[in-house]
Amino acid sequence: MQPGKLWDIFCRVIDNFGDIGVCWRLAVNLSQRGQRVRLWIDDASALNWMAPAGEAGVQVIPWAESLRPVALPPADIWLEAFGCEIAPEFIATQRVATRPGGQNLIWINLEYLSAEAYVARSHGLPSPVMTGPGRGLVKYFFYPGFIPESGGLLRETDLLARRASFNRDDWLQQLGISWNGEQLLSLFCYEPDALSDLLTQLAGGATPTQLLVTAGRASAAVAAAVNHKNQSEPLWNKGSLLSILHLPALTQSDYDHLLWACDLNFVRGEDSLVRALWAGKPLVWQIYPQSDGVHLVKLQAFLDIIQAPASLREIHQRWNEAPGSPQLPLAPFALTEWQQTVLTARKTQIEGPDLVERLLQFVSKSH
């Protein structure tokens, strides 16, 4: 594919760490491979801390601007993230615009990441638009995933080189974290029922631990859990084996560094799961909970595809409040076993093309 295609990426923020995190990484990744990107987003506030330096090849445009006639060069590709639905007003004005070389517009619906079997069946399928201003156009489904028949995973071309050159001591010092060899755990979560058990286990273990808590919901959940334990069990951390550090909001680069620095990473959602996989460290994933329990099927598919051992499955079931999971303290960590699982899964993913490579190949064939 020739460089310099113009992409319109559309994002509506539901979980401001997840949706915008994936879309920003995608936009930057495309830009760094010679593409031009306009990111249309309804709430870009998280970029103030997630990516304060911006990216030269990415233009961020408020979603509201797509609701009125747009006097901009027409994009070669529309990418609709997570079914956010491009504004009809934008479709009406931009679909009729003349594109260089008379090339057709390519419309892609980027779906959520999954390891489920339907990904292989649905990835790349066309969906004719039957109504509205987009009638007559064709939308293509693009499914990120872990198998060759999927859209792959987001990965920068220099990621592994940066990972290999990372110095944990230097980074912790730059962030102002005093570290004397304690076990390091990162925590990015919603409000898991097992959080209190995790704190109890870490405080009662044989290994001094620093729990590095990300800003936002995780920090609030930990503060509430600690306050409750201090009132109900004043001596729960009497040996002071557990120290808790609430981190400031981290840029995407520094969140990667956090994952690289820690001995175990508790992650949530889609973007942080992929970043934890690239980190090559033991991980526990809290999947976004859904009332109908569908998320547990998705979780099981992921554990199957990485060939998770029984110990890793058990903690995932407990951390995600799966029905029938024992309401007992968390089982001991099996970090050596878990890390080997993650490293094996990472090796498999690295051997194939990443998501942006596959996107570019798809667009090239479609043109």
Share of the chain above pLDDT 70, in %: 96
When the candidates are 3.90.480, 4.10.240, 3.90.320, 3.40.50, the CATH number that belongs to 159-350 is: 3.40.50
Q: Name the band, by pLDDT with cuts 50, 70 and 90, for residue 236.
A: very high
φ, ψ for residue 41, nearest 5 deg: -145, 145
Structure tokens at 48: 């103030």
pLDDT of residue 107: 96
Cβ contacts of 74 within 8 Å, gap of 6 or more: 6, 94, 97, 98, 99, 105
Give the active site residue among 111, 256, 270, 354: 270
The arithmetic mean of pLDDT across residues 297-311, rounded, is: 97
| Cα–Cα distance, 176 to 364 (Å, whole number) | 46
pLDDT of residue 37: 98
Query: How do residues 29-66 score in pLDDT, each as one tens digit?
Result: 999 999 999 999 999 999 999 999 999 999 999 999 99
φ, ψ for residue 122, nearest 5 deg: -105, -20
| Domains in the chain: boundaries | 6-152+352-366, 159-350
Which residue, chain included where needed, has tokens 């069990």?
Answer: 233
State yes or no: is 182 an active-site residue: no
**Quick check: do 6-152+352-366 and 159-350 share a fold?**
yes
Determine whether 208 is exposed, middle or buried from the number of CB atoms within 10 Å of its CB (0-12, 13-18, 19+): middle
Q: Name the band, by pLDDT with cuts 50, 70 and 90, for residue 97.
A: low
User: Does pLDDT of 366 surpass 90?
Assistant: no
pLDDT of residue 102: 52
Lowest-pLDDT range of 234-248, 262-276, 283-297, 307-321: 283-297
Cβ contacts of 129 within 8 Å, gap of 6 or more: 107, 135, 136, 137, 138, 139
Query: How do residues 66-86 score in pLDDT, each as one tens digit?
Result: 998 777 889 999 999 999 999
Q: Name the β-bridge partners of 141.
A: 109
pLDDT of residue 104: 82
Give the active site residue among 19, 256, 271, 354: 19
User: Does pLDDT of 125 surpass 90?
Assistant: yes
Across the chain, mean pLDDT equals 93
pLDDT of residue 71: 79
State yes or no: is 233 an active-site residue: no
Query: How do residues 313-337 score in pLDDT, each as one tens digit?
Result: 999 999 998 887 777 778 889 999 9
Q: Name the band, by pLDDT with cuts 50, 70 and 90, for residue 290.
A: confident
Q: Are 247 and 212 in contact (CB under 8 A)?
A: yes
6-152+352-366: CATH class: alpha beta
Which residue, chain included where needed, has tokens 């939308």?
Answer: 139
User: Does pLDDT of 110 surpass 70?
Assistant: yes
pLDDT of residue 1: 42
